[in-house]
Amino acid sequence: MYEVLVIGGGSAGYVAGSVLARKGIKTAVVEKEKFGGTCVNSGCVPSIFLFDSSFMLSRWKEIGDYKGINVDVEMSDCTFSKRDDIVSYLSSAGRSLVENAGAQVYLGEAKIREKGKAEVNGETIEFKRLIVASGSSPISYPGVITEDEAVNLRYVPRDMIVVGGGYAGVEIAQIFARLGSSVTLVTRHRILSGFSEKARDYVIQSLEFDGVQVKEFHEVIKMEGNEVVTNKGTMKGEVVVSAMGRRPVLPEGLTKNYNVKVNEKGIAVRRNMMTDDCDVFAVGDVIDKPNKTAHSAMYEAIVASQTISGTPMEVSYECIPKVIYSDPQVGIVGVPEKATKIAEFPFNAVTRATISGLRDGMVRIGFNERNEIVYGEVIGKNAEELINILTLAVKYRVNMFDLATTVFVHPSLSEAISNASKSVFDLDVDRFK
């Protein structure tokens, strides 16, 4: 009998399984496809591998020219097989993490047959508590490839229509445009809803610079094969990609045997990740929550594991950052509506950005009337790293003056953060550029 059965070996599942096992709690993790789930096999990892490749292809020449170095770059035949090697390495690393921690791994689909009993490949597994980490799957249309399939393509299509203006759609559009496809990005509203106007403007400008045709306010009526019919006309592409959202994946027998509430967005949970049934926790993309990212899935897995092991924790979604891996990248954290003032600082006034030829973008910090930091935004290269500084600031409501009087290394890109806070007190040092 296991203390905890974890269903799903993705970002949420492998973290929960390994953390619980390291605490000495008898745990099993069941995975029906590949360890690492969406993030490793068809999300973050293949997508960011291709993002880096496309960045090198399109920007190294430009950065080389900036620095007086002759750079000749071209894509080689093995780009896609290199991506696949990294994916399989990280997938087996996820499984090893769970096994090395002492949890039992089962490969196969878990079906819940009764309270405390699941079946995997005909074998019955008994458990006391359940963590559902079964993730989500993309919404699919006949003959149209999904976002998960797009990042695993093994060739560069001549032309591509990407439907969906969220982070996955934007990233896929820019990657393939830079790899050589002629790309059209179609979206019902504006792209990147939830991000600031400034961030959207930078990203749209950069997409258009890369040759992406951005078609906002196009309502898709039908998508099939290589055709997309919208309220403004019909478009055809060699490949059509649907990046229009995802649905939760529920293990068979879950709602029949447990008092778990589910809506169209996923399983309803409390802030400690417990469902309406106190024996069942749910974490990651399968839950009804605003932030469907791998890092929030891993955080929720830690919260659930701590709570189960007697050290209760609660999730605060306000402090979970989001990043779009476009170029320029955009990172945000916190709640802009809580800010009474915004301090901004552009990268083109930062010494390190000027040295490196990375002058696009800016830092924006929102603070309240007590000067506490409640929002952060980084637009530009390395936003994925810089936003983590602002995440700490938002989490602990750091005072702008304390940030302004903290010494940052010179020259560094993060001086944009330092200077944004300094500018509020007339202490910024890079204003002359």
Helix or strand (DSSP H, E) at 107: strand 104-107
173-192 binders of ligand FAD (CB under 6 A)? none
Nearest approach in angstroms of CB 223 to ligand FAD is 18
Q: To which residue do tokens 């006034």 refer?
A: 349
Q: Which residues pair with 233 in a beta bridge?
A: 230
Q: Does 38 bind ligand FAD (CB under 6 A)?
A: yes
Choice between 33 and 279, CB closer to ligand FAD: 33
Q: Does 86 bind ligand FAD (CB under 6 A)?
A: no
Q: Does 33 bind ligand FAD (CB under 6 A)?
A: yes
Q: Does 347 bind ligand FAD (CB under 6 A)?
A: no
Pattern of binders to ligand FAD over 8-27, x per CB under 6 A? xxxxxx--------------
Choice between 129 and 422, CB closer to ligand FAD: 129
Q: Does 162 bind ligand FAD (CB under 6 A)?
A: no
Q: How many CB atoms lie within 10 A of CB 348?
A: 16
Q: Does 303 bind ligand FAD (CB under 6 A)?
A: no
| Phi, psi (deg, nearest 5) at residue 192 | 55, 55
* Positive or negative torsion for Cα 305, 308, 311, 315: positive
Q: Are 192 and 205 in contact (CB under 8 A)?
A: no
Q: Does 269 bind ligand FAD (CB under 6 A)?
A: no
Q: Which stretch binds ligand FAD (CB under 6 A): 60-68, 147-155, 348-356, 411-419?
A: 147-155
Which residue type, as a one-letter code, is found at position 323? V
d(CA 292, CA 43): 12
Rule CB under 6 A: choose which of 4, 5, 17, 148 binds ligand FAD.
148
Find, among 73, 46, 243, the residue nearest to 145 by Cα: 243
Q: Total number of residues binding ligand FAD (CB under 6 A)?
A: 38
Q: Does 383 bind ligand FAD (CB under 6 A)?
A: no
Nearest approach in angstroms of CB 85 to ligand FAD is 19
Choice between 281 and 325, CB closer to ligand FAD: 325
Residues 6 or more apart whose CB falls under 8 angstroms from that of 68 comprise none
Q: To which residue do tokens 């060699």 refer?
A: 238
Q: Are 186 and 235 in contact (CB under 8 A)?
A: yes
Residue 266, token pair as written in the block: 């996923």
Nearest approach in angstroms of CB 227 to ligand FAD is 23
Choice between 207 and 400, CB closer to ligand FAD: 207
d(CA 328, CA 362): 10
Rule CB under 6 A: choose which of 277, 285, 327, 428 binds ligand FAD.
285
Q: Does 149 bind ligand FAD (CB under 6 A)?
A: no
Residue 396, token pair as written in the block: 């602990």
Q: Are 34 and 45 in contact (CB under 8 A)?
A: no
Choice between 39 and 403, CB closer to ligand FAD: 39
Q: Are 328 and 383 in contact (CB under 8 A)?
A: yes
Nearest approach in angstroms of CB 213 to ligand FAD is 21
SS3 at position 117? strand
Nearest approach in angstroms of CB 151 to ligand FAD is 5
Local structure of residue 171 (DSSP, 8 states):
H
Q: Does 43 bind ligand FAD (CB under 6 A)?
A: yes
Q: Does 109 bind ligand FAD (CB under 6 A)?
A: yes
Q: Does 265 bind ligand FAD (CB under 6 A)?
A: no
| Phi, psi (deg, nearest 5) at residue 115 | -55, 125
Interface residue list for ligand FAD (CB under 6 A): 7-13, 30-33, 37-39, 43-44, 47-48, 109-110, 133-136, 147-148, 151, 168, 249, 251, 284-285, 292-295, 297, 325
